[in-house]
Amino acid sequence: MRNPRKSSALACALTLLATALSGAVPAHAAADDPVIAPEVLASFDARATTDFWVRMSGKADLAPAKKIAGRTARGRDVVERLHARADRDQEPLRKLLKAEKVKSTAFWVTNAVYVKNASKALAKKIAKLPGVEEIRAPVTYTIPEPVRSTPAGAAAATGLTWGVSNINADDVWAGTGRRGEDIVIANIDSGVQYDHPALVKSYRGSNADGTFTHDYHWYDPLRECPSDAPCDNNSHGTHTMGTMAGDDGQGNQIGVAPGVRWIAAKGCTTDQCSEEALVASSQWMLAPTDSSGANPDASKRPHIVNNSWGASLTTQPFMEDIQLAWAASGIMGIWSNGNDGPGCQTSGSPGGRVINYSVGAYDVDNKIASFSSRGPGQDGEIKPNISAPGVNVRSSVPGGAYAFYNGTSMAAPHVAGAVALLWSARPEYVRDTAATRLLLDLSAIDTDDTSCGGTAADNAVYGEGRLDALALVEAGTRGTARLSGTVTDATTGRPVEGATVTLTGPLTRTSTLGADGDYRYTLVAGEYQLKAEAFGYRTTTKTATLARDDTLTLDVALPQTERIDLTGTVSDASGLGRGLAARITADDGKGHTWNAESDPGTGAYTLSLLPSMTYTLTTRATEPGYDPSVQQVTMGETGRRLDLGLTVSLSCVARGYEVIRDGSTEPFDAATAPKGWTVTNVDPRIPKYAHQPGWVFTDAGGRGNHTGGAGGFAIVDSLHSGKGHLQDTYLTSPSYDLTDRASATLEFAHDLKPAVNSTTGVDLSVDGGRTWKTVWSAKGFPGAPGPAVHVVPLPDAAGQADVRIRLHYRGQLSGWWAVDDLFVGDRTCRPAAP
């Protein structure tokens, strides 16, 4: 539980281990000590010795453990593999520390050693040992006091809490007769008041004769409690444990799974969280020990561990090797997602990491809490994974009392308790963490809020939705199955892009299909009605019956609704009259399109359309050299014919056509500006940039003529001009008299290599240079690598007596623009002579 505007009450843990024990590549403090973090080296400037973590690079292979059927054997195998790897990797380090008489604590759960009061010289020695991945500084965080809430009527509140009722946990008790029996749940928190009236009966250390045995049931790595018995000097841990396991038998039903047995580890002190204590607690969960810390026994490990702590970090890994070890051993970890909402990308860590299952918080009205952190999390992962009650949650606190708290810390125990109910009612899922996560996702109540991304069914505010313990157990009873298929056009066999598939049954799902027409679902087993629909098609319904672990393919062919044919030919309309290969697209203006291809030889096409509609028809040749055409067509109740003609484009590259020019061409073959042409370099008013070369007619940069022309050319070579040189330069033509021209065109061959900071353009003046109008421009990429020809129609120049053209380039270290064979005059495209 955390204050919405402050760090978590137990926020200590995350950043400590994130920096101390993460797998991230460390910052290089110095070239000769790349594994020592700068913070460690800096600490030696203030004192002669310091504490630090040494993390080894080796990882134990835990994959075989998941194949071991026996619960105890599986747990022991994980511990043995972790031990063996740590013992082997850490041996040189341990020998060195022993020889140096330096105190340390070696861990096998994370293959790391916590070194105390070590010198800089020793740190450098350690850095050179084989297998040392990083040396990190420890960090300590304070724990704010838990913030309580006081809802109306809270003072006298007893009985079933709203959260337990909201997630239908009481319905699971009634329907299955199971309340978590045979499941052991744990928390790593601030401790627990073990003899609290709501918790004493479910504490695993409680004996039938009223005595207590704390061996294997309680761990206090920092020895904060006055005896070997559990204590809680913060209240946070007692509260979270109550939400999982609390029930005093006198009307205070605060726990989701009061039939479980619980154990606990005190990972946090009165006002601090130590990364050493958190790692030690996590290790203890894999093989609890007696009160002296000896005789570990993996058979006594818990099934589920709740972690209601974290910090506002989403980018750093934390405890992921520990989480992998827990999962291999069959321990399911549940994490709070953080209380730094309502902004997006505020998911706390470790909850925000992909590997961890995290929980958001909502209130009694099923509305997400304003403080609940939103995703996405690591690598865009949807976070939280699920949401649960986390506002005005009543639970146990030290002193045998009860209190209302807010936070995702309160939400996470609801999920941990729900998992306990599932595993108690459906033992086949016990320690199957992957299947359990899937069932949690599938059974969650979809809650639409895409304000931080995702979909209505899975978004970065609620995750997969709101927790429903009854639906979770029912899903476990049914099992899961997979359904997939393709929706196609029954006439053509092609996938129907944009089709909608809706499933109703034990779950409800809706998808809009992509271009492949495919759908894929993982579902709770059962009978489903599948409805496929798309515009222009008849809605089709099928039944899918899915058995547990079934994989079913169900394809759907949608019959077209009534269609009428638009037929005709696509032909050349510039003189040759031949049929053209083209793509014809009809658009109804409402997001629906229909396509057809014409015959390459005859140009014939058939386009099946819906009757009584008006379409925008776009025709594009699939061979080069033709401009597309766009026109409206209205279809009645019967088919109709429409012949389509395409004209040759201005470039005149269509087969069977040639260019006829009548005008003036400048080849730029001389080493200086041609007669009548002028170069104007604009002074950029920066002295060191002034008077730099602009348009030139020699190839000082050795580019070669790649315009497609021959001989010389004009060029602005910005890259060749040298660092810091700025070009803002114009090349202006002499006057052209076009009074007897009915049409006018500009054509030039060029080779343009631009950059993001370059501007290239052509300007036109029809009044002798007094005013100018830009008729073509290119800014930045992709340019026009030569040989390239550009044709610009100049309708304003036809019939004018004093027409001028100018080429403008501006840039700095921004490529070049080479121009050749610039033509101005009449330019026509006509069928080539036989």
**pLDDT tens digits, residue range 639-677?**
999 999 999 998 899 999 999 999 999 999 999 999 999
Q: Residue 143 pLDDT > 60, yes or no? A: no
Given the residues 196, 214, 217, 236, the one annotated as active site: 236
720 belongs to the catalytic site: no
Q: State the DSSP code for 54.
A: E
End-to-end CA, the chain = 88
| Contact indicator for 810, 778 with CB cutoff of 8 Å | no
Q: Residue 145 pLDDT > 60, yes or no? A: no
Length of the chain: 834
Sorting pLDDT into bands at 50, 70 and 90, what band is 18? very low
* DSSP state letters, 731-748: EE---B--TT-SS-EEEE
Sorting pLDDT into bands at 50, 70 and 90, what band is 620? very high
For the chain, give the mean pLDDT. Answer: 90
Q: 297-355: per-residue pLDDT in tens? A: 999 999 999 998 876 654 445 568 999 999 999 999 999 998 889 999 999 878 888 89
Helix, strand counts (H, E) of the chain: 12, 42
171 belongs to the catalytic site: no
Coarse DSSP helix, strand, coil percentages of the chain, rounded to the nearest 5 percent: 20, 35, 45
User: What domains sit in the chain, N to C, each tagged with a CATH number?
Assistant: 12-142 (3.30.70), 162-260+276-287+298-475 (3.40.50.200), 479-558 (2.60.40.10), 564-646 (2.60.40.1120), 657-831 (2.60.120.200)
Sorting pLDDT into bands at 50, 70 and 90, what band is 270? confident
Given the residues 189, 232, 321, 468, the one annotated as active site: 189
790 belongs to the catalytic site: no
Given the residues 308, 373, 409, 814, the one annotated as active site: 409
> C-alpha 684: how far from its chain's center?
46
Model pLDDT, residue 686: 53
Percentage of the chain modeled with pLDDT above 90? 79
Cα dihedral sign, 210-216-217-222 = positive
Angle between helices 408-425 and 169-176 (to 10 degrees): 10
